A and B are shown apart, each in its own frame.
Chain A
């Protein structure tokens, strides 16, 4: 133990010399973590309040299993992308290309199924063809992510620009491949099972999205991969000096978000049984909004998958609730926009408090 001549003013900011007293700082830390204004706990509280309000106003409709199911189905494709986006944003990066990569992967999947199917269309294709097509979709997404990651990590072009370029290029390529016309010859078996079927009461889409989120949470919180992700977002130069291969890790992170965008493309294809070329221009902003709402810091180094799940659900729940209550759903945009700005403001305040000397 280091003993210091105790002049109150000098020791005040450094209470370390007293020792013992393990529980009080522990409590303070808990308070600081759970109730720091942008933490997942807060945003979860917001979600609970929203659900409670709608449930009180229209208990029968809002809590009907149909609405709950549709809320989760609508959220699942976004959630898969948001899991990847969480990793990217924790490294203090961004990926604006997710929606376009989703479309591109769906197009690749359909084209591969068409090429492998016996007839002119893939509608009646069997499981073998479907599986190969889905894997091709994911591979296309992952490859896109690797390409973007390589430019970001090696050529040091800012991720905002690289993925903005990727956003335009992936959609353009999709339109080239389809001549700008949606391919709708999606195998019926795919649409009826993964796309719109259920395992018991649970839709396949929701099951897959939740499995992805749980795996993502485990990887982020408990593995070396997750720790490097946090470290790079926290201090990339410091991480480099400790021997972490920062470039290679960034490449992997962008590959992961690409892969998950590819999986989202497969799920979207299965659900809508068409490539939905024109419907994903705003996915990037939707997903980024969800991740930030969930308490992941745009400045990197902080984030959680639980928060991301909540962040995905809030806009979807608002949407569904407003319809049921009979308010124009346009208000959803207003509400989410305001909460988003508040969340980032709170994050900035937190950073300012933390970086005190």
Chain B
């Protein structure tokens, strides 16, 4: 597991709404002119997306705007028909999720993708198990104690209180499950975490906790890409907002400069800022 000595980011505010504005920081993840077609449906028609280090950036758009497809492309779950993806300025190909994971990009899926019969620690280490040293390890014997200890620490660092990390995650509450999925992503991500509608299924209290977790992740210097429908929530936690419409990016905002009306206008096409060729 990567260590989390959060580089004390002195609030590196990302560039303002216009892409031409001189950005002090290079993008950590950038997708450009991405096209994806399913049969006759053009899900992405030259979509672009930019994420800067240490920010919470929201990706919003109406149903069918292409948010999910774009996130899949950037997290390795989908291969675009054309377009470029760059991580820290270097062009990359992401044929599958592990390829993205190897670059420090993790995803919290909307369905969480947890093995519900396994406990929190097993889920955090799923696919990346720690083995016992020596011969036992070569026989594939797990080091459960070490994984449990590391997982407990990961939960603690995020302020996630699991009470009993040994119960199957299927018996946890929705918020706790969400927390396990987030903790797994954050434990392995060194650069970017995608979160697809992380609070859609949660109640008020649990939503508050997840938002808190998102802020803690950002404070460690990891970029959080938030896919959400909830405009007030987006304005509350995001530093920047990128808007997709009909398979393209149509606007970029700083969260402190806009209101819900501006976002809705951009989503529905009443306001077009860029890429509108």
Binding site for B on A (CB under 8 A): 1-2, 4, 10-11, 13-17, 19, 21-22, 25-26, 29, 32, 219, 222-225, 227, 230-231, 233-235, 237-239, 241-244, 300-302, 353-357
Contacts and interface: CB of A to CB of B under 8 A. Distances in A.
A10 B131 contact: no
B116 A301 contact: yes
Interface stretch (B21-29, B84-92, B165-173, B233-241): B165-173
Contacts of B129: 224, 227
Interface of B: 77, 96-98, 101, 107, 109, 111-118, 122, 126-129, 131, 139-142, 144, 159, 161-164, 166-168, 170-171, 173-176, 201, 203-206, 208-209, 212
Contact of A15 (B101, B163, B204): B163
Contact of B117 (A2, A234, A244): A234
A237 B113 contact: yes
Q: What does DSSP make chain A's interface, helix, strand, loop or mixed? A: helix
B167 A235 contact: no
B127 A243 contact: yes
Most central of A21, A242, A243, A357 by chain B CB within 10 Å:
A242
A230 B118 contact: yes
A235 B117 CA distance: 9
6 contacts: A4-B209, A10-B205, A223-B139, A235-B116, A241-B97, A355-B116
Given A223-B140, A354-B170, A357-B173, A239 B117 contact: no
Contacts of B127: 239, 242-244
A129 to B, nearest CB: 32
Q: Name the 3 nearest CB pairs between A and B, nearest first.
A: A301-B117, A238-B113, A242-B127
Contact of B113 (A11, A222, A224, A242): A242
A239 B115 CA distance: 7
Contact of A14 (B96, B170, B205): B205
Contacts of A2: 159, 161, 208-209, 212
B128 A243 contact: yes
B166 A29 contact: yes
Contact of A224 (B140, B168, B203, B206): B140
Given A230-B117, A354-B168, A14 B142 contact: no
A144 B97 CA distance: 32
B76 to A, nearest CB: 9
Given A4-B209, A17-B161, 9 more contacts: A2-B159, A14-B206, A26-B166, A32-B171, A222-B142, A234-B118, A239-B127, A355-B116, A357-B173
